[in-house]
Structure 1
Amino acid sequence: MGGSARNQGVRDGDDAPGQSLYQRLSQRMLDISGDRGVLKDVIREGAGDLVTPDASVLVKYSGYLEHMDKPFDSNCFRKTPRLMKLGEDITLWGMELGLLSMRRGELARFLFRPNYAYGTLGCPPLIPPNATVLFEIELLDFLDSAESDKFCALSAEQQDEFPLQKVLKVAATEREFGNYLFRQNRFYNAKVRYKRALQLLHRRTAPLDEQHLVEAAKLLVLLNLSFAYLKLDRPIMALRYGEQALLIDQKNAKALFRCGQLMTEYQKARDFLVRAQKEQPFNHDINNELKKLASYYRDYVDKEKEMCHRMFAPCGDGTTVGEN
């Protein structure tokens, strides 16, 4: 993604004399605004549903001025792009319209006229007045937050009027949001999303034949909460949620591993890790943690022996350090 695809699109345009690069390029593009203010050319087709109006999107983008090969704005240098909510985090109206026309995995090129971009004044000194700009946008993924936000704003009594599947869907959306935030190292914000999901699931009572669905959803959230608190350097809370996960599934390897990591007593930590290893004997992380624990314990024992040796070593007067 970048200048090469953009230049290829310009070369492929109709080479009419007296026309600018963007004018030639615009002749092969689709009008998605109805007034040719936002034009689109699909480079790679996407799949699935179109982006919804209240979605949060994960995109890579680069913006270009005409006759410039280097982008004036781009987030492609980021390892993990930031999750952006339509209507809040995106400032260009043209980009909003463009994203609403896209599907997951799609890569497209857009031309935004001034009234859909930076207006008649531009954005000095970077963007000149009345500038038409070209953006290449890749839609990596999106999450529809409208349904989740509206549901979470309801009272507990109102939420109880909806079927269980609705609650599970909203909780899953909250957890997925948390996962995105976690991958961006925004651990506190991820924790908030996970706790919203857990609160929804805790409040919901389900018939016996459907209780396993709620418990399975809770388990995923509890494991994520434990990991988030570990990243936030709050081991007591991380251990608490790990132990809650084990109440649902006492053989869950992830929960056993997390509790083993967080236990301060050697024997308890080893017991959890051995149980985790029993469930997943070839898990690299579990086996490494056991080796690390054994190494720490050997160091501890060696230091204890050395301390005892010094305490009871004979002094010059024939007594020992430990004698009064």
Structure 2
Amino acid sequence: MSGNGLVHSIQRLINSEERLRTPSPFDHLRQQMDDVLGDGGILKEVVHPGEGPPVPQNASVLIHYSGFLEYSAEPFETTTNLKYPRMMKLGRDLTLAGLELGLLTMRRGEFSRFLLQPHYAYGNMGCPPFIPAAAVVLYEVHILDFLDSGQVDEFIALSPEEQNTVSLSKLLEVVNTVRSFGNRCFNQSHYDNAKRRYKEALMLLENRETEREAEKDGIRTALLPLFLNLSITELRLDSPHKALKYGNKALEIDSANTKALFRCGQAYLELREYESAQDCLITAQARKPFDTDINNLLRKVAMSYKDTLDKEKDMCSKMFRDLRDK
């Protein structure tokens, strides 16, 4: 062995001994963390508390997270570079037991750190080449939102007859959760997925059989926002005929609903049915005279209508000139 190699070996040995004597970064963290399960396997530090109830079993969660090895400043995995992290279902999309158990202790908006022992993380084998054997890992987790999809799964697993025996309030909770999934997809511009969720919620309501007027009113009230959601989603999918269909269904429930009138006005504009578009928007404007969106769209319809009439006028003039010249 060369002298230089011997020096490096001695230096590594000294560094190793110094690390043994000096508390490591994870040792410092342990001193300020709580033991989640009582066995030391999952330690937690709340950096920023959240609000509301904790995440329920089998929920779908929207989180940003980063995983770190000790002595590493860069994460081995992270979602913080994503504008829209995907919604993940507990028990299916998360593979680390410690991370899933930790999430069940969190609340909406919370930011926490979790120190996971190997048996709650990647085990004694690790996950080469990124995770060494028997590695303790640190996860930083920010829970943006969660939906109680376990409740939805349980309801959908029931037969139609069993679903009909569930209370209306329970049905509306399920419908609102499914609609929230749709809203999440819509806000991320995943319009096909949003449409699928809205139609799923719509089907659950339309399958409800009841003779009680109070329940019928509750169902109609829940149908209204779904028709409005489907109308704007169909507009995003360039399907104005379908958008108009759902807008009219919303108007059947509430004939003075300005959102429904606006959606129908948008659909008629796309279909170049300018007079119908004007009728809808003027009715909406009468209820909300200072609404910027309604007024701007009404001006756009008027301009488009005028351009069409001018083109038709020019075409007629040209036809008459051609006839005179013959």
- Bin for the TM-score computed over the shorter chain: 0.7 to 0.9
State which of 145, 151, 154 in structure 1 corresponds to 2:155: 151
TM-superposed deviation, 1:71? 2.1
In 1: Cα distance, 2:140 partner to 2:39 partner:
20
In 2: Cα distance, 1:228 partner to 1:33 partner:
45
- RMSD between aligned residues: 2.0
TM-superposed deviation, 1:175? 1.2
TM-superposed deviation, 1:17? 4.2
Q: Which has the higher helix share?
A: 2
Counterpart of 1:305?
A: 313
Counterpart of 2:275?
A: 267
Show structure 1 runs of 5+ residues with no match.
1-14
TM-superposed deviation, 1:58? 1.3
State which of 109, 114, 124 in structure 2 corresponds to 1:105: 109
**What amino acid is aligned across from residue 158 of structure 2 in structure 1?**
L
In 2: Cα distance, 1:281 partner to 1:70 partner:
55
The answer to whether 1:176 aligns with 2:169 is no
**What amino acid is aligned across from residue 138 of structure 2 in structure 1?**
L
The answer to whether 1:295 aligns with 2:299 is no
What is the TM-score normalised by the length of structure 1? 0.87
TM-superposed deviation, 1:311? 2.4
Give the conservation status (yes or no) of the 8 Å contact 1:41–1:108: yes
Aligned length: 304
Matches within 5 A, 1:1-324: 17-204=21-208, 205-263=210-268, 264=271, 265-313=273-321, 320=324, 323=326
SS of equivalent residue, structure 1 residue 62: strand
Q: Which digits, 9 at most, give the CA deviation of each residue in 1:122-175, with x for residues without a partner?
A: 333332332222111111221111122211222221122222222222212221
TM-superposed deviation, 1:195? 1.4
What is the TM-score normalised by the length of structure 2? 0.87
**What amino acid is aligned across from residue 129 of structure 1 in structure 2?**
A
User: Could you say if the C-alpha distance between residues 206 and 254 of structure 1 is closer, same or farther in structure 2, counting changes exceeding 3 Å?
Assistant: farther
User: Could you say if the C-alpha distance between residues 41 and 206 of structure 1 is closer, same or farther in structure 2, counting changes exceeding 3 Å?
Assistant: farther
Give the conservation status (yes or no) of the 8 Å contact 1:118–1:130: yes
Moved more, 282-291 or 100-109: 282-291
SS of equivalent residue, structure 1 residue 120: coil
SS of equivalent residue, structure 2 residue 165: coil
Moved more, 248-257 or 153-162: 153-162
SS of equivalent residue, structure 1 residue 320: helix
In 2: Cα distance, 1:30 partner to 1:210 partner:
47
Q: Percent sequence identity over matched residues?
A: 51
